């Protein structure tokens, strides 16, 4: 028996691909129908990590399998109203940015995702939240495509620039990637003879105490379940009581 899940993507690169992989597995299991909600930043970030162009594998576009973009919604986020009307068995927010978690901790509902969360709470729909900034300290996170200026020699004919299907590479002194155009397709990575384009470079990121505290605050709200890693989503959703 299929049941419906609302999946919210916020503007976080951390664990985004991993979350996508879990939803793909869930949809392929034919157990769930997924409606995907993207915040404005979520749409941008999913694009540069190459996830936006893969979402149609999860969202057929049919009723309750749509991709809902914040930028298409009015200020009242009418589609978030589905949560209070009991259309979904659960809401999953993964990855959840520090920004979205902070807003939810304060009861603010002024974006598509925070509004969906508020409506879920009002409709007694459980919310599974996977915050990127979970515990204060250093975490490793992956960048989208970047050109390493130390490696790039600035060829006269830059092949990645010529062949980028999205015209996302510009010369600003040296070639640089315009993240507002990049779709994370990685075509450029294999074209640079000097391997100067790196996708998924790991960097250190400090999680603030403030963000950890906000996670603690939302964990105390009724119906909120905090997840530490996207791999926990599969079991959480699979064990939902459909009766």
Ligand X SMILES: Cc1cc2nc3c(=O)[nH]c(=O)nc-3n(C[C@H](O)[C@H](O)[C@H](O)COP(=O)(O)O)c2cc1C
Contact residues for ligand X (CB under 6 A)?
10-14, 39, 41-42, 45, 48, 97-100, 111, 132-133, 141, 144
Looking at the Cβ atoms of 111 and 121, the one nearer to ligand X is: 111
Q: Please say whether the beta carbons of 184 and 50 come within 8 A.
A: yes
Looking at the Cβ atoms of 32 and 35, the one nearer to ligand X is: 35
Q: How far is the CB of 169 from ligand X (least distance, A)?
A: 17
12 conformational bin, left if phi > 0, alpha if psi -120 to 50, beta if neither:
beta
Q: How far is the CB of 144 from ligand X (least distance, A)?
A: 5
Looking at the Cβ atoms of 95 and 175, the one nearer to ligand X is: 95
- Here the tokens at position 169 are 């590479």
Looking at the Cβ atoms of 180 and 220, the one nearer to ligand X is: 180
Is 236 exposed, middle or buried (CB count within 10 Å of its CB: 0-12, 13-18, 19+)?
middle
First to last CA, the chain: 10
Give the whole-angstrom CA distance, residue 204 versus residue 207: 10
Q: How far is the CB of 35 from ligand X (least distance, A)?
A: 17
Looking at the Cβ atoms of 19 and 59, the one nearer to ligand X is: 19
Is 8 exposed, middle or buried (CB count within 10 Å of its CB: 0-12, 13-18, 19+)?
buried
Q: How far is the CB of 2 from ligand X (least distance, A)?
A: 28
Q: How far is the CB of 19 from ligand X (least distance, A)?
A: 11
User: Could you please report the per-residue DSSP string of 38-103?
Assistant: E-HHHHHHHHHTT-GGGGGGT--SSTTS-EEEGGGS-TT-GGGHHHHTT--SEEEEEEE-HHHHHH
Strand partners, 137: 207
Looking at the Cβ atoms of 10 and 35, the one nearer to ligand X is: 10
Q: How far is the CB of 111 from ligand X (least distance, A)?
A: 5
Query: What is the number of the residue whose Cβ is closest to ligand X?
Result: 11
């Amino acid at each position: 028996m299929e049941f419906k899940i609302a999946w919210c993507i916020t503007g976080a690169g951390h664990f985004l691909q991993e979350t996508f992989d879990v939803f793909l597995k869930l949809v392929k299991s034919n157990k769930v129908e997924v409606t995907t909600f993207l915040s404005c930043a979520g749409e941008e970030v999913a694009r540069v990590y190459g996830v936006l162009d893969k979402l149609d594998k999860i969202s057929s576009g049919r009723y309750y399998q749509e991709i809902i973009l914040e930028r298409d919604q009015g200020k009242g986020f009418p589609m978030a109203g589905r949560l209070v009307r009991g259309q979904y068995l659960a809401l999953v927010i993964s990855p959840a940015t520090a920004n979205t978690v902070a807003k939810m901790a304060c009861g603010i509902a002024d974006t598509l995702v925070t509004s969906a969360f508020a409506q879920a709470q009002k409709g007694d729909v459980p919310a599974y939240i996977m915050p990127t900034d979970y515990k204060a300290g250093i975490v490793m996170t992956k960048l989208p495509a970047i050109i390493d200026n130390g490696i790039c020699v600035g060829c006269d004919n830059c092949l990645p620039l010529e062949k980028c299907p999205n015209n996302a590479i510009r010369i600003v002194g040296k070639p640089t990637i315009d993240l507002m155009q990049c779709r994370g397709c990685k075509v450029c990575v294999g074209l640079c003879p000097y391997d100067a384009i790196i996708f998924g470079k790991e960097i250190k990121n400090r999680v603030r105490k403030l963000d950890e505290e906000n996670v603690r605050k939302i964990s105390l709200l009724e119906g909120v379940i905090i997840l530490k890693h996207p791999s926990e989503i599969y079991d959480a959703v699979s064990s939902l009581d459909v009766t």
